[in-house]
């Protein structure tokens, strides 16, 4: 053993004596359950809490009946809850369910309320519960509009509709008409071509009606306007038909980010909350559903108030939120939620398996191809956010500027702050804001986190604005914090309150569209890091950093979710892992890219820019398996989506056909080129061992870290897929069930698919059997000492008693270059242990890692008597 290893083993011995031990039931550690956890982050006593979840992406190809047929397999897999995508009635042809049109009914396409209850009964009989994804922030603007009866009423009756309060519409804008940006050309041209016409249709629930038709779009007529001339009739409606490009500049209803077909819902209104949640609350109350996942709470006017109301109305059910936490941001202590859906776990686990030594070479390669330097990401993010503030989200920024201008105009002391100055300051603050939003509630002092976030953005904005804007910026910040600005005593006014709320709602849209949907498609150092909620600037995370964060998460939100893949991730975990391995062999990868460029030179279009080329090669590496590349259409569909999101040479609103054709032709040619195939097949073979270790290690870590472990459908085995809809393809559940039956019968794993399935199943079963160590009130997380940075080791405990131990290999390619594990050790807690993955025994104390990981690059140990 070398001197360094001797020192590490001595340290390991010291640390192991202070680590988890066996405790008695009367130990003081038992006295204080959930020590350090805010009360609002815990469900009410007695409410069901998932130990693990399995995400089912429901739709026409996966109905309630189809899901029920999978229950025996999922129960065998070891999950405790099925996690269902939204089930309420959605827009025609919906592939995901987030475009709800009727909150009072369950989707007939999925099987209706009877099908949902039947699924719940089947699951319950197998010992499983249900968690339901709900969408409080928005509803669909469907085609035809009558599918959303609430919206249809508003279109017909305007502000006088009983549903007018449901939607966040500025009726003072747009001449008092709701903007409907559905036309393919300007209104004058549309009328001149005779594309608008009156028609008679049978509207479900209302009977025959005369309507205004524009191709598939159908709109109600304001009573008394049926007999007017067409031009006058169009002008007299409670809605304004407009060219679709008008939306980004003049839209007067709040939407989901920049999606015109998803209109925001005002659930802060108690009557709207009651109407839109009645069925959901019934499903919780009668036991059909155990818990809820809340979609995009940052879009709500008052997330904390919404979650508090939901807690009250569900009796304290387990609720998690789809919340992106930036950097070291945490879920607010006062939020009534168990935590998030797990993006903060996703990036940290992933980056613990990324080699920091690869950053420089991959950065240099990016610079050679794309011209971007390794320190350019902040500038790219700033540029991207500026573009969305000035472009797709201009209407939202214009609206909050109008609010600020009205406030200043109505206060003599603020009147000289001009609209343009206010716009400049608000835009700069939105660009500077480093998270999805602050949580300032009108009439309440800002909490420390919100205050610090706002002040940090203000300092950055001040540096970027001309000096003469400083007084206006100061006023804007005071207004956004709900403080007194201008005349004494003027704080709680309707417009001031509205400005506080709308600015925060706009922050989230700027982050999502500017960072995740623009900048992350431009940054190509290691594209696997550019993920939802990701931190690509961090590049890599040391095991000690992961352990420190996990310990904190285990105290702050011990029942939040952990995730590796979701329906929103830009790549599945297995695709990311294959790309991550580039960091372990950066010089070899750079050399391979030069060969790929040389071989593809004859057909590589001159229009192919460096960023897209770098993305292409990494995507091919990430999706090239033992079976070869993914289908050409899947590859090119992804690349087209990526370049349109990047918005550098083409976009969704202004596609450049010549450029896009060049991308498609080059990608198809490269994928089919035998020379390229030889090179990438060689790379896949060379990295197979490293991919195996990272695949199994990251999965085991995600499933055993603090929180409720989530498995996205099918990812219990390797799934190489890209952004939606590619990641929503059908799952071969029957094949997976047969694989698991074979493994359970004693057969050894035949390939990585078997190994990942076995690791996932055994981790889930261990969680289920030792739930008190993973989601119990005395559950704990303790890092274990080890002598190699290539090991990730920790124990899960109950009242300080170690119940399960995880040992995982990280950076296997680098480890191989060093000659393997050698005499490196890990300090196991005292006692006798059994690896549930290999059924091999181990004794506590210092143990050679090589002995523990003879058969697999990971181990999951439980006490021999457990």
Q: Over 29-84, what HEC string results?
A: HHCCCCCCCCHHHCCCCCCCCCCEEEEECCECCECHHHHHHHHHHHHHHCCCEEEE
State how many domains the chain has. Answer: 4
Is position 626 within any domain? no
Least confident of 16-25, 91-100, 423-432, 712-721: 16-25
Same domain, 384 and 498: yes
77 pLDDT more than 80: yes
Pair type for strands 791-798 and 100-106: unpaired
Residue 794 corresponds to which tokens in the numbers above?
């920790």
Of the candidate ranges 134-138, 251-255, 351-355, the one whose mean pLDDT is the lowest = 251-255
Q: What SS3 class is residue 717?
A: coil
Residue 246: pLDDT over 80? yes
**pTM for this predicted structure:** 0.94
Task: Note if the bond before 725 is cis, omega within 30 degrees.
Answer: yes
Evaluate whether residue 770 is within a structural domain. Answer: no
Task: Report the distance separating Cα 150 and Cα 276, nearest Å.
Answer: 11
What six digits make up the tokens of 437?
């939003």
Residue owning tokens 């021999």: 864
CB of 294 closer than 8 Å to CB of 136:
yes
- In the predicted model, what is the mean pLDDT of the chain? 94
Q: Would you say residue 858 lies in a domain?
A: yes
The stretch 633-644 carries a mean pLDDT of: 98
38 part of a folded domain: no
Same domain, residue pair 238 and 254: yes
Q: Which position has the token pair 């039956």?
A: 741
- Say if residue 133 is in the same domain as residue 273: yes
Does the residue 624 lie in any domain?
Answer: no
Label residue 111 left, alpha or beta by phi (over 0 means left) and psi (-120 to 50 means alpha).
left
Structural domain contains residue 833: yes
Domain of 312, CATH number, reads 3.20.20.80
Same domain for 294 and 260? no
Domain boundary among 202, 237, 264: 264
Confidence (pLDDT) at 20: 59
Those residues with Cβ within 8 angstroms of residue 450's Cβ, 6 or more apart along the chain or in another chain: 438, 439, 440
Average pLDDT over residues 157-168: 96
The token pair that represents 836 in the structure block: 């549930």
Q: Please check whether residues 78 and 158 belong to one and the same domain.
A: no
- Separation between Cα atoms, residue 783 and residue 431, nearest integer Å: 39
Q: What is the dihedral of CA 252, 517, 515, 573, to 10 degrees?
A: 140
Under the banding of pLDDT at 50, 70 and 90, the label for residue 257 is confident
User: Would you give the DSSP letter of residue 17?
Assistant: H
Residues 157 and 129 in one domain: no
Q: In the numeric block, which tokens belong to residue 692?
A: 């195996």
Residues 6+ apart with CB under 8 A from 39: none
Residues 308 and 183 in one domain: no
Instruction: Report the percent of the chain where pLDDT is more than 90.
Output: 93
Task: Show which of 218, 244, 264 is a domain's final residue.
Answer: 264
Residue 701 lies in a domain: no
Residue from 748, 718, 529, 731 nearest 625 by CA: 718
* Distance from C-alpha of 211 to C-alpha of 600, rounded to nearest angstrom: 56
C-alpha distance from residue 64 to each of 59, 112, 277, 293 (Å): 9, 8, 21, 18
Give me the sign of the Cα torsion angle 622, 670, 589, 687.
positive
Q: Do 250 and 290 fall within a single domain?
A: no
SS (H, E, C) 519-587: HHHCCCCCHHHCCCCCCCCCCCCCHHHHHHHHHHHHHHCCCCEECCCCCCCCECHHHHHHHHHHHHCHH
Q: Structure tokens of 21?
A: 């031990």
Answer with the one of 236, 264, 292 that is the final residue of a domain. Answer: 264
In the predicted model, is pLDDT for residue 723 greater than 70? yes
Residue 292 and residue 441 share a domain: no
When mean pLDDT is compared across 167-181, 224-238, 408-422, the lowest value belongs to: 167-181
**Per-residue model confidence (pLDDT) at position 803:** 97
pLDDT in tens, 8-53: 333 333 333 335 544 433 344 445 899 899 999 999 999 999 999 9
- Closest among 94, 74, 179 to 135, alpha carbons compared: 94
Q: Give tens-digit pLDDT for 595-615.
A: 999 999 999 999 999 999 999
pLDDT of residue 866: 60
Concatenated DSSP letters of 141-169: --SSGGGSHHHHHHHHHGGGSTTGGGB-B
* DSSP structural state of residue 516: I
At residue 807, the 3 state secondary structure works out as strand
Range of the domain at 808: 1-31+784-866
State whether 296 and 408 are in the same domain: no
* Each residue's pLDDT tens digit, 729-785: 999 999 999 999 999 999 999 999 999 999 999 999 999 999 999 999 999 999 999
- The three-state secondary structure class of 183 is strand
Q: Are residues 387 and 490 in the same domain?
A: yes
State the average pLDDT over residues 174-198. Answer: 94
Cα distance between residue 785 and residue 18, in whole Å: 10
Beta-carbon contacts of 286 under 8 Å, excluding residues fewer than 6 positions away, are none
From the CB of residue 137, how many other CB atoms can be counted at a distance below 10 Å?
Answer: 27
The pLDDT of residue 226: 92
Task: Give the pLDDT confidence of 809-847 residue by residue, as tens digits.
Answer: 999 999 999 999 999 999 999 999 999 999 999 999 999
Position 32 scores a pLDDT of: 82
pLDDT for the residue numbered 206: 85
Residue in 839, 832, 829 with CA at minimum distance from that of residue 860? 839
Residues 184 and 89 in one domain: no
**Position 693 in a domain:** no
- In degrees, rounded to 5, the angle at the alpha carbon of residue 712 between the alpha carbons of residues 691 and 67 is 135
| The pLDDT of residue 684 is above 80 | yes
What pLDDT does 717 receive? 98
What CATH number is attached to the domain comprising 226? Answer: 3.30.1590.10
């Amino acid at each position: 053993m070398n001197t360094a290893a001797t020192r590490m083993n001595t340290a390991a011995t010291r640390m192991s004596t202070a680590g988890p031990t066996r405790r008695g039931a009367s130990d003081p550690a038992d006295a204080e359950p959930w020590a350090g956890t805010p009360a609002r982050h815990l469900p009410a006593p007695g409410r069901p809490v998932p130990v693990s979840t399995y995400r089912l992406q429901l739709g026409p190809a996966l109905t309630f009946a189809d899901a029920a047929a999978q229950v025996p397999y999922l129960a065998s897999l070891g999950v405790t809850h099925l996690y269902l995508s939204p089930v309420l009635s959605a827009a025609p042809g919906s592939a995901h369910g987030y475009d709800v049109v009727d909150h009072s009914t369950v989707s007939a396409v999925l099987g209706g309320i009877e099908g949902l209850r039947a699924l719940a009964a089947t699951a319950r009989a197998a010992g499983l519960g249900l968690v339901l994804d709900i969408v409080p922030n928005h509803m669909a603007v469907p085609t035809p509009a009558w599918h959303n009866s609430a919206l249809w009423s508003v279109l017909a009756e305007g502000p006088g509709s009983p549903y007018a309060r449901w939607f966040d519409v500025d009726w003072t804008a747009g001449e008092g008409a709701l903007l409907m940006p559905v036309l393919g050309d300007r209104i004058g041209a549309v009328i001149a071509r005779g594309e608008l016409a009156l028609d008679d249709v049978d509207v479900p629930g209302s009977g025959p009606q005369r309507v205004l038709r524009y191709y598939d779009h159908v709109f109600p007529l304001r009573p008394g306007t049926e007999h007017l001339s067409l031009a006058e009739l169009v002008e007299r409606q409670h809605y304004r038909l407009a060219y679709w490009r008008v939306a980004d500049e003049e839209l007067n209803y709040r939407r989901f980010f920049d999606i015109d077909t998803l209109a925001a819902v005002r659930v802060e209104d108690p009557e709207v909350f009651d109407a839109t949640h009645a069925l959901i609350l019934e499903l919780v109350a009668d036991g059909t559903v155990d818990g809820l996942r809340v979609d995009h709470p940052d879009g709500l006017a008052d997330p904390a108030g919404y979650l508090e109301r939901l807690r009250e109305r569900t009796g304290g059910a387990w609720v998690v939120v789809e919340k992106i936490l930036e950097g070291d941001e945490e879920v607010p202590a006062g939020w009534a939620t168990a935590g998030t859906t797990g993006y903060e776990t996703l990036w940290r686990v992933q980056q613990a398996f990324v080699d920091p030594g690869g950053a420089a070479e991959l950065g240099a390669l990016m610079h050679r191809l794309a011209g971007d330097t390794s320190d350019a990401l902040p500038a790219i993010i700033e540029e991207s956010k500026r573009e969305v503030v000035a472009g797709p989200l201009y209407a939202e920024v214009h609206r909050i500027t109008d609010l600020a201008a009205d406030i200043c105009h109505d206060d003599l002391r603020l009147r000289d702050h001009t609209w343009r100055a206010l716009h400049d300051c608000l835009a700069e603050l939105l660009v500077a804001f480093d998270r999805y939003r602050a949580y300032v509630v009108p009439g309440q002092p800002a909490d420390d986190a919100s205050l610090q976030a706002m002040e940090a953005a203000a300092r950055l904005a001040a540096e970027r604005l001309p000096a003469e804007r400083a007084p206006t910026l100061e006023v804007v910040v005071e207004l956004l914090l709900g403080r007194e600005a201008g005349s004494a005593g003027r704080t709680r006014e309707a417009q001031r309150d509205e400005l506080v709320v709308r600015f925060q709602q706009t922050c989230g849209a700027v982050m999502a569209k500017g960072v995740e949907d623009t900048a992350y498609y431009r940054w190509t150092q290691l594209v696997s890091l550019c993920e939802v909620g990701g931190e690509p600037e961090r590049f890599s995370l040391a095991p000690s950093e992961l352990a420190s964060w996990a310990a904190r998460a285990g105290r702050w939100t011990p029942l939040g979710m952990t995730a590796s893949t979701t329906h929103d991730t830009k790549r599945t975990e297995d695709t990311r892992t294959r790309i991550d391995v580039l960091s372990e062999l950066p010089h070899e990868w750079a050399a391979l890219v030069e060969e790929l460029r040389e071989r593809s030179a004859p057909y590589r279009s001159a229009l192919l820019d460096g960023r897209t080329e770098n993305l292409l090669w990494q995507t091919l590496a990430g999706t090239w398996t033992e079976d070869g590349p993914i289908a050409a259409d899947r590859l090119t569909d992804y690349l087209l989506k990526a370049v349109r999101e990047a918005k550098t040479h083409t976009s969704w609103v202004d596609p450049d056909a010549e450029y896009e054709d060049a991308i498609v032709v080059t990608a198809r040619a490269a994928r089919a080129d035998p020379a390229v195939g030889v090179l990438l097949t060689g790379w896949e073979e060379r990295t197979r061992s490293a991919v195996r270790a990272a695949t199994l290690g990251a999965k085991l870590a995600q499933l055993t870290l603090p929180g409720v472990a989530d498995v996205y459908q099918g990812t219990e085995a390797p799934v190489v897929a890209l952004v939606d809809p590619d990641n929503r393809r059908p799952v071969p559940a029957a094949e997976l069930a047969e694989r698991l039956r074979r493994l359970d019968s004693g057969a050894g794993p035949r390939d990585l698919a078997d190994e990942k399935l076995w690791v996932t199943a055994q981790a889930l079963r261990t969680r289920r059997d030792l739930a008190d160590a993973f989601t119990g009130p005395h559950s704990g997380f303790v890092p274990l000492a080890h002598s190699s940075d290539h090991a990730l080791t920790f124990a899960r405990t109950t009242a300080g008693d170690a119940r399960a131990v995880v040992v995982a290999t990280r950076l296997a390619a680098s480890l191989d270059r060093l000659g393997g594990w050698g005499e490196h050790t890990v300090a196991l807690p005292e006692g006798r242990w059994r690896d549930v993955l290999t059924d091999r025994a181990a004794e506590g104390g210092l143990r050679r890692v090589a002995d523990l990981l003879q058969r697999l690059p990971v181990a999951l140990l439980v006490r021999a008597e457990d």
